[in-house]
Amino acid sequence: MFGLDSKDSKLLLIVAVLALAAPFILNPFPAGSELAQFNAGYPDLMQRFVIFGIFAIGFNILFGLTGYLSFGHAAFLGVGSYSAVWMFKLLSMNVIPAIILSVIVAGLFSLLIGYVSLRRSGIYFSILTLAFAQMSFNLAYSVLTPITNGETGLQLTLDDPRVLGQTATADGSIPVTNLFGLEMRSTYELVLGAWNFQFNAGYYLSAVIMLASFYMAIRIFRSPFGLMLRAVKTNQTRLNYTGMNSRPYTLAAFVVSGMYAGLAGGLMASMDPLAGAERMQWTASGEVVLMTILGGAGTLLGPVLGAGFIKYFENIFSKINDNVLHGWFAFLPDGMEDLLVTIVHPFVGKGWHLTLGLLFMMVVIFLPGGLIEGGQRLGKLLRRKSAKQDDEDANKSASTAAE
């Protein structure tokens, strides 16, 4: 299918099913129940799952294949967002031109940074990318205020000189982003008993683009280009001794990775037309590193799982406060209830980073290959138990026949 072997086709199909059926999968608990707190099937969060999935897929092409650890990829995310918002302000509210411009500008920007940074490797490369990202953040925050609007962030106004389309709607408000007339905020709600499922146009556009990005990543991983990047990761010095110049390949991987980040930034602005310098901070770069390592660096599906895992914790666990905890433990005696709330309190709400940090430590210690390695171990265990059961059944059948 689409030039992929059966294994990769199944993987792509699994990702497609998970992405398209996300409103059902992410809403397992009925609305109004105590467990509804853990539902994640609302448009804004689902959009973040797939958009940061794209960001992590692109980062994995650089880090997972070549072993070059960049701490500056948030710069391309921010550049993509700024480019998209400027396209909305100057040309049209259609998301397609904005997304295309985001990818192009991020690609050019990553070409410039990659050309300089890739003169070094290892920790020196990482420090260079971090320095470029922080320079970009400071430029966007203060120096380039006429372009970025500084700390306030770049956003749409009623005075935007939009060439195509209206500058204001009939009721005097700012137009919304759309795909040839289909508004990105358009949402259809399906109520089935106590369950409420939301199908958002912006999410499905992002999901389709994520699937296309995932397919391109598969083709890159399986191509001779991907094989060369793996050789760079294995032993770049030995590769250079063979007469092969690895730098064009690493630069190409850096640019492709930056374009993925720009695409994610453009989609973020398409869903919510606002771009701020905070998207270029080093913390955002560190977040995509965590996503990739947590899911499984060098694997195809790992970065997507890691992105979903971290965004779920960020948006779900951070909302659990003391009132929610008291509701959970209300069936206990007052003293026991207060004790459990006191124990759990540091790990939720504003302390969700502590829970994420502990889980990340456990994954790194016990599952160095990330969540993908955990899934593989579980699969092997189940297959081993199944094979053992089959052997036992066969032995019983043989014994019965002998009797």
The answer to whether residue 81 is domain-embedded is yes
Q: Report how far apart the first and last C-alpha atoms of the chain are (Å, whole number).
A: 51
Residue 121 has pLDDT above 70, yes or no: yes
Q: For 108-135, what is the mean pLDDT?
A: 92
For the chain, the residue count is: 403
Q: How confident is the model at residue 32 (pLDDT cuts 50, 70, 90)?
A: confident
pLDDT of amino acid 400: 64
pLDDT: which is higher, 205 or 390: 205
The answer to whether residue 328 is domain-embedded is no
**How is residue 158 annotated by DSSP?**
T
pLDDT of amino acid 211: 95
| CA gap 258, 114 in Å, rounded | 9
CA angle at residue 113 from 109 to 114, to 5 degrees? 110
pLDDT of amino acid 106: 95
- The tokens for 304 are 């997507």
Residue 151 has pLDDT above 90, yes or no: no
Residue 249 is part of a domain; what is its CATH number? 1.10.3470
Give Cα separations from 153 to 83, 111, 130, 184 (angstroms).
Answer: 13, 25, 22, 21
The answer to whether residue 362 is domain-embedded is no
Q: Which residues, listed in sequence order, are joined to residue 125 by a DSSP beta bridge?
A: none
Q: For 361-369, what is the mean pLDDT?
A: 84
Q: How confident is the model at residue 77 (pLDDT cuts 50, 70, 90)?
A: very high
pLDDT tens-place string over residues 185-206: 999 998 888 888 999 999 999 9
**Considering only CA atoms, which of 84, 92, 121 is closest in space to residue 265?**
84
| CA gap 58, 255 in Å, rounded | 10
pLDDT of amino acid 167: 79
**How is residue 91 annotated by DSSP?**
T
The answer to whether residue 151 is domain-embedded is yes
The answer to whether residue 384 is domain-embedded is no
Residue ranges making up the domain that contains 246: 6-319
pLDDT: which is higher, 258 or 238: 258
Task: Please tell me the total count of domains within the chain.
Answer: 1
pTM above 0.85, yes or no: yes
The answer to whether residue 376 is domain-embedded is no
The answer to whether residue 160 is domain-embedded is yes
Residue 387 has pLDDT above 90, yes or no: no
| CA gap 234, 302 in Å, rounded | 20
Q: How confident is the model at residue 49 (pLDDT cuts 50, 70, 90)?
A: very high
Name the least confident of 11-15, 55-59, 316-320. 316-320
Pairing state of beta strands 187-192 and 178-179?
Answer: unpaired
pLDDT of amino acid 372: 87
pLDDT tens-place string over residues 163-190: 887 777 778 788 899 998 899 999 999 8
| CA gap 328, 351 in Å, rounded | 18
Task: Check: CB of residue 59 under 8 Å from CB of residue 296.
Answer: no
Q: Which residues, listed in sequence order, are joined to residue 198 by a DSSP beta bridge?
A: 189
The answer to whether residue 341 is domain-embedded is no
